[in-house]
Amino acid sequence: MKDLTFIFPLYNLSENGRLNRLNTAIAHITVHSQGNIIFVGKKEDLDLVGDKGKKVVNDTDDLSYPNQVMLALKSVDTKYFSVVEQDDFVCDKWAECVDEYLKNDNDEIFAYLPLTEIVDYGTDETISYANEAFWASSFSEEIGYLDLNAIQDYLNFNTSGGIFKTKEFLSLGGLKTSMKLVFWYEFLMRALYKQKKIFVIPRIGYYHYANVDGSLTEQYANSMSEKEVEWWVELAKKEYYFPQDRNKKYEEE
Amino acid sequence: MIKIAEENVEKLEKKEYSIYFFVLDTKGNPSSALEYIYKTAMVLHKDGYNVKILHNEKDFVGVGDWLGEEYANLPHANTEKENVEISASDFLVIPEIFANVMMQTKKLPCKRIILVQNAYNLTEFMPVSQNLDNLGITDAIVTTKAQEDKLLDYFPGVRTHIVHPSISPIFHPSDKPQKLVVNIVAKDQTDVNRIVKPFYWKNPIYRFVSFTDLRGLTQEEFARALREGAITIWADDKTPFGYSLLEALKSGGIVLAKVPDEPTEWMKTADGNLNEKILWFEKLEEVSDMIAPAVRTWTRFEIPEDVYEDSKSFDSLYSEDVQKAEIEHAYIKTIVERRLNEFKEVLAELKNKEKEEAAE
């Protein structure tokens, strides 16, 4: 998979056994990645990963996920990239599976998302799935594919582990760094609005750990009111018409 | 008389005879039994023999939509509308469901052959007062050893010739990743419901699993669905052969199959047991509990490699080449040759008689 770069945005790597999980994920990916791994984060986090890949130091004040991804993308020179969350687990078959899809890739498909299994971090039990609904009959217009109508009221998707075409991703404007929580949601709607085809690989090789202390989701859950969450979701539904980041800010009424 | 016999010998030797196949129009619905007849006719047609498909349907639809134009373009005739001249050197192949045709054609001069794909149809359609002997039918084409055994059990005097079915090469594994779709090959909607609904009720977490009912698809669509779907469930209790099960096995997916009432020979091993390379289930109620583990193991890359390896063992079964050889052997080398020899014997007898009469 010479044409694929895995991006690992890092934060608080020394906490909650993250480094161990990261090393496991890297071990499975390294078999197929042929060295195309980029770590992005603060210097102290980057120091912990050794020399397993290229490092992009984020020396800005903005340590948000979308900003980390966009920073890393400046160093990506492969046709495809994938963002892997440091809290997640990638099984060794996943990269092999992705390889098979990319071998059969035609220019029609812009992105491949995984059928993600959501696992409880404490009990290691499967809680649910993400991206699964697109394989249900009658959910989307074409089985296995996202469409704009289908995701209007569907937020249970997971983009981590997804494979995106780098040039098209950037030409769509990439992730909007001002957005909180809904940066991927807004981006997917923008891509679908631009007629991009997004396919869900119906295989489980990517496991997302839920209920991890200090995770990005937990940070949002702790810092955002329900009202703010709703505001961001509604904003995403309006902003996807605009390729540029219009820097909308949430203000408490 | 000698002249007539000579003409028939000449026709048989010069391939100037016709082989007629009587068919039931399935009104555009795919049918393995009908496909078998058309395939036989096509092999003989391509070998240069005169074949004609006969029917007596007012609004004949044919097989073009699901089997292809090549088959639809074989010569056809409606016996109700057209005058089909059948001579003594011709052959009429009558499927076992047409007991009435066997009776109506009793006085025709041609050689009539019964084609038995499901011997139980004889018990359904043939009156108890009739049998192959009094219908003047001495030869039967059968599709399997089991069908042959049944037929000989009913009518021990008939000569049987086995011509196995073949599976079209369009049934093969996909070279692309499969889809998370569970195909269902069942005879009716009730069976489909008995599989799908309990699965969703028992496994709400798997409500994203899609099922595709493969009834009524064209052969192309059917083959594509089998190739693309990760899992296929097959349930056809009354099958005389199990075409669609074999087609599914050749298509490379995971196949869960209900044990039919009478498993065909290819479903069994040499010792007569069910072939364990197929994932069998006994009752429809069981399969809803098998789907979730199958989906889970497939999505998680946990299907043991030997499951796929095992299904490859079916790849070489029932090829079109073997069927072609069997058709040529049964129809031409055996039945036509025998008919020719019969005419030659009659001719020799007639000539001897003529000589004797002349000498006197």
- Min mean pLDDT across A63-77, A79-93, B234-248, B313-327 is at A79-93
Q: Choose from B176, B212, B300 for mutation: most chain A CBs within 10 A.
A: B300
Q: Measured between alpha carbons, how far is residue A140 from residues A64, A136, A147, A196, B295 in Å? A: 31, 8, 6, 14, 21
Residue-level pLDDT at A32:
63
> What's the ipTM?
0.86
CA distance B212 to chain A (A): 9
Cβ A115–B180 below 8 Å, yes or no?
yes
**List of chain A residues whose C-beta atoms are within 8 Å of the C-beta of residue B209:** 135-136
On the question of pLDDT at A251 being above 70, the answer is yes
Taking the C-alpha atoms of residue A162 and residue B164, their distance in angstroms, rounded to an integer, is 49
Residue A90 lies in a domain: yes
Residue A197 lies in a domain: yes
Q: What is the largest CA-CA distance in chain A?
A: 51
Residue-level pLDDT at A18:
80
Residue A244 lies in a domain: no
Instruction: Give the residue numbers spanning the domain of A111.
Output: 4-239
From the centroid of its chain, how far is CA A48? 22
Q: Choose from A199, A203, A206, A207 for mutation: most chain B CBs within 10 A.
A: A203
Scan residues 139-178 of A and list those with Cβ closer than 8 Å to B. Answer: 139, 143-144
DSSP state of A132: G
Residue A86 corresponds to which tokens in the numbers above? 């440091």
Do residues B254 and B307 make contact, with C-beta atoms less than 8 angstroms apart? Answer: yes
Q: What is the largest CA-CA distance in chain B?
A: 97
Taking the C-alpha atoms of residue B255 and residue B211, their distance in angstroms, rounded to an integer, is 14
Taking the C-alpha atoms of residue A213 and residue A210, their distance in angstroms, rounded to an integer, is 9
Ranked by mean pLDDT, the top range of A146-155, A182-191, A205-214 is: A182-191
Give the residue-averaged pLDDT of A206-235.
84
Going residue by residue through chain B (360 aa), what tens digit of pLDDT does each one get? 888 889 999 999 999 999 999 999 999 988 999 999 999 999 999 999 999 999 998 899 999 999 999 999 999 999 988 889 999 999 999 999 999 999 999 999 999 999 999 999 999 999 999 999 999 999 999 999 999 999 999 999 999 999 999 999 999 999 999 999 999 999 899 999 999 999 999 999 999 999 999 998 888 999 999 999 999 999 999 898 999 999 999 999 999 999 999 999 999 999 999 998 889 999 999 998 999 999 999 999 998 888 878 778 888 899 999 999 999 999 999 999 999 999 999 999 999 998 898 887
Do residues B249 and B260 make contact, with C-beta atoms less than 8 angstroms apart? Answer: no
Pairing of strands B18-22, B91-95: parallel
Tokens 């001002």, located at residue = A178
Within 13 Å and on the Cβ side, how many CA atoms surround B77? 15
Residue A48 CB coordination number (10 Å): 15
Complete domains list, chain B, with CATH: 2-166+320-359 (3.40.50), 179-312 (3.40.50.2000)
Taking the C-alpha atoms of residue B206 and residue A75, their distance in angstroms, rounded to an integer, is 39
DSSP letters along A15-50, please?
STTHHHHHHHHHHHHHHHHTT-EEEEE-HHHHGGGT
Residue-level pLDDT at A253:
60
Cβ B300–A132 below 8 Å, yes or no?
no
Scan residues 107-126 of A and list those with Cβ closer than 8 Å to B. Answer: 115, 126
Cβ A135–B211 below 8 Å, yes or no?
no
Pairing of strands A37-41, A54-57: parallel
Plot region of B60 (φ>0 → left; ψ -120 to 50 → alpha; else → beta): beta
Which H/E stretch holds residue B352?
helix B337-359
A19 vs A82 pLDDT, higher one: A82
Inter-chain contacts counted by CB atoms under 8 A, chains A and B: 52
**List of chain B residues whose C-beta atoms are within 8 Å of the C-beta of residue A143:** 179, 181, 210
Q: Is A106 on the interface with B (CB under 8 A)?
A: no
Residue B41 corresponds to which tokens in the numbers above? 């006719």
Contacts of A234 (CB under 8 A, 6+ apart): none
Give the residue-averaged pLDDT of A36-60.
92
- pLDDT above 70 coverage of chain A, percent: 96
Taking the C-alpha atoms of residue B71 and residue B62, their distance in angstroms, rounded to an integer, is 9
Q: Measured between alpha carbons, how far is residue B291 from residues B204, B207, B282, B298 in Å? A: 13, 12, 14, 10
CA distance A244 to chain B (A): 35
Domain count, chain A: 1
From the centroid of its chain, how far is CA B151? 16
Residue B268 CB coordination number (10 Å): 13
**List of chain B residues whose C-beta atoms are within 8 Å of the C-beta of residue A202:** 179-180, 230, 299
- pTM to 2 decimal places: 0.86
On the question of pLDDT at A8 being above 90, the answer is yes
Pairing of strands A89-90, A206-210: antiparallel
Residue-level pLDDT at A33:
62
**Minimum-distance CB partner of B208 among A91, A104, A133:** A133
Residue A159 lies in a domain: yes
**List of chain B residues whose C-beta atoms are within 8 Å of the C-beta of residue A101:** 177
Strands (E), A42-191: 54-57, 80-83, 89-90, 109-114, 116-120, 126-130, 163-165
Cβ B177–A104 below 8 Å, yes or no?
yes
On the 0-12 / 13-18 / 19+ scale of CB atoms within 10 A, B138 is: middle
On the 0-12 / 13-18 / 19+ scale of CB atoms within 10 A, B167 is: buried
Tokens 């709703």, located at residue = A230
Q: Is A132 on the interface with B (CB under 8 A)?
A: yes
Do residues A198 and A109 make contact, with C-beta atoms less than 8 angstroms apart? Answer: yes
Residue A110 lies in a domain: yes
Residue-level pLDDT at B264:
92
Do residues B45 and B74 make contact, with C-beta atoms less than 8 angstroms apart? Answer: yes
- Min mean pLDDT across A79-93, A103-117, A188-202, B20-34 is at A79-93
Buried b (16+ CB within 10 A) or exposed e, A57-79: ebeeeebbbbbbbbbbbeebebb
Contacts of B302 (CB under 8 A, 6+ apart): B296
Strands (E), chain B: 18-22, 50-55, 76-78, 91-95, 111-116, 139-142, 159-162, 179-186, 210-213, 229-235, 254-258, 279-281
On the question of pLDDT at A1 being above 70, the answer is no
Q: Measured between alpha carbons, how far is residue B351 from residues B14, B49, B276, B347, B360 in Å? A: 21, 29, 62, 6, 14
**List of chain A residues whose C-beta atoms are within 8 Å of the C-beta of residue B180:** 115, 135, 144, 202
**Minimum-distance CB partner of A101 among B177, B205, B209:** B177
Cβ B299–A202 below 8 Å, yes or no?
yes
**List of chain B residues whose C-beta atoms are within 8 Å of the C-beta of residue A144:** 179-180
Taking the C-alpha atoms of residue A91 and residue B196, their distance in angstroms, rounded to an integer, is 30
Residue B4 corresponds to which tokens in the numbers above? 């007539």
User: How big is the CA angle at A232 (ends A193 and A5), to the nearest 5 degrees?
Assistant: 60
Cβ A115–B209 below 8 Å, yes or no?
no
Do residues B51 and B44 make contact, with C-beta atoms less than 8 angstroms apart? Answer: yes
B295 vs A31 pLDDT, higher one: B295
Least Cα distance to A204 among B278, B200, B208 occurs for B208
**List of chain B residues whose C-beta atoms are within 8 Å of the C-beta of residue A201:** 177
Give the residue-averaged pLDDT of A28-43.
80
Which residues, listed in sequence order, are joined to residue B181 by a DSSP beta bridge? B210
Do residues B95 and B33 make contact, with C-beta atoms less than 8 angstroms apart? Answer: yes
Taking the C-alpha atoms of residue B334 and residue B321, their distance in angstroms, rounded to an integer, is 18
Find the CATH number of the domain harbouring A203.
3.90.550.10
Q: Report the residue of chain A nearest B229, measured CA to CA.
A: A202
Do residues B198 and B246 make contact, with C-beta atoms less than 8 angstroms apart? Answer: no
